[in-house]
Amino acid sequence: MTTMRMAGIVIISLGTILVINLAAPSPRAQSLAPRFEVDLSYPRPLPNKWVTGGIGGHCIEANDHVLLLNRQDVLDGDLNAGRPAPFMIELDTSGKVVHSWGDRNLLEGTVAGFRLGPVSNRLHTCHFDKDNNVWIASSPSGMIQKYTHDGSKLLQQIGKKGEFDSADGTSKGAPLNSNAARFYAPASIHVDRDNGDIYVADGETEKSNRRIMVLDASGNFLRQWQPEGMDSVHCMTIADDGTVYVCNRTGSRIQLYDKMGRFKRNIDLPWQPVTPPPDGNIKQSGGATVALALSRDPGQSLMFVVNQNNSQIDIVDRQSGKLLTSLGEIGKLPGQFDQAHSVAVDSKNNLYIGENRGRRIHRFKPAGP
């Protein structure tokens, strides 16, 4: 057996990639830091010569199946060798495609294409509620939607397709942050399992809305708050204890609130470039707090944060806010990232990372301590 060490990843010839500590926390923190292995068997090859665009987001349902949001923004020449994969792709626990769906006429489709064509369905977020129905949104978008688990029926739509919460009603207009069930750039959705209230981070991009909006189960506006110091509100989730976690993407910070929008505290996650620029002018390459997910143990002890600037996943102790370790690095190999964009955790605490630019999904399995 041979072993090769590459910038914090141990590659073993027998087929296991063990991701070890990439940060430099205290020796005590190191001894407690979780470790993960890349699952080289996941996912299985896609059928029918499918070609995906960027993975805009992903979420995990009650049986640990993963739903991928495929933006279909394929590269020039890809379709000479394949055909566009469906918008929604469901993978079982082995990584095999078991279902796919998505109706272009129902999804938001008013955004200029980033790779091919005049229009791109820029899918951004999904969330399974306690009934295992799935909520979907694109960004920018004037709406959010709830579908049955298999996508066969649109159950609820809040807002209107192509009508944005802006001064002129378009995705180019000045944001309004209205006290109404209207949207501009929904980035994350979370449905309260106790009362059905719908929390939406509406503010995926700069110069859009920048708020957390709360609606009742029928879609009626209840309240909103605008997190201080944020140019965008790119991600949001809610812990079992009711704490609302909001990503300050370019501020390298997670901001914590209660469900009424009262500020609790910040978790700062500063970053540094591996190679400092000669002129000392550090520029971000996506942000250090792009997406987050919480572990599934009873206390939800860990927070997993997508750090695009350093092409890694930062693993943080949820209670103390201390960085324990990080995994991954830039690259195309298993366990390396090309613009990681979404993160989710299943019931066994397997970690799933979706890439936008890299157009793939990874699974990491717990390996200790």
Mean pLDDT of the region 242-253: 97
Q: Is residue 356 part of a domain?
A: no
Exposure of 294 by Cβ count < 10 A (0-12 exposed, 13-18 middle, 19+ buried)? buried
In the predicted structure, residue 356 carries a pLDDT above the cut 90: yes
Q: How confident is the model at residue 121 (pLDDT cuts 50, 70, 90)?
A: confident
**Cβ(18)–Cβ(367) below 8 Å:** yes
Q: Give the helix, strand, coil percentages of the chain, each rounded to 5.
A: 5, 40, 55
Q: Provide the pLDDT for residue 76.
A: 83
Q: Is residue 296 part of a domain?
A: no
Average pLDDT in the chain: 90
As a whole number of angstroms, the distance between CA 346 and CA 263 comes to 29
Q: What are the φ/ψ torsions at residue 79 (nearest 5 degrees)? A: -80, -5
CA dihedral 113, 114, 116, 122 (to 10 degrees): -60
Measure CA 244 to chain center.
16
Q: How confident is the model at residue 110 (pLDDT cuts 50, 70, 90)?
A: low
As a whole number of angstroms, the distance between CA 349 and CA 283 comes to 33
Q: Is residue 96 part of a domain?
A: yes
Q: Is residue 201 part of a domain?
A: yes
Mean pLDDT of the region 161-186: 95
As a whole number of angstroms, the distance between CA 254 and CA 268 comes to 6
Q: Is residue 281 part of a domain?
A: yes
As a whole number of angstroms, the distance between CA 247 and CA 210 comes to 11
- What is the three-class DSSP state of 144? strand
Within the chain, how many helices (H) and strands (E) appear?
1, 29
Closest CA relative to residue 202, chosen from 213, 214, 218, 215: 213
Residue owning tokens 């707090």: 289
Query: What is the domain range of residue 230?
Result: 42-287+314-326
Mean pLDDT of the region 262-290: 97
Q: Is residue 82 part of a domain?
A: yes
Q: Provide the pLDDT for residue 8.
A: 36
Q: Provide the pLDDT for residue 119.
A: 52
CATH number at residue 283: 2.120.10.30
Domains contained in the chain, number: 1
Q: Provide the pLDDT for residue 149.
A: 97
pTM of the model: 0.91
Closest CA relative to residue 344, chosen from 330, 329, 364, 326: 364
Q: Provide the pLDDT for residue 3.
A: 36
Q: What is the pLDDT of residues 215-233, one digit of tens each?
A: 999 999 999 999 999 999 9
From residue 44, how far is each of 94, 98, 144, 323 by CA, in Å? 7, 11, 30, 33
Q: Is residue 189 part of a domain?
A: yes
Q: Is residue 115 part of a domain?
A: yes
In the predicted structure, residue 189 carries a pLDDT above the cut 80: yes
DSSP 359: -
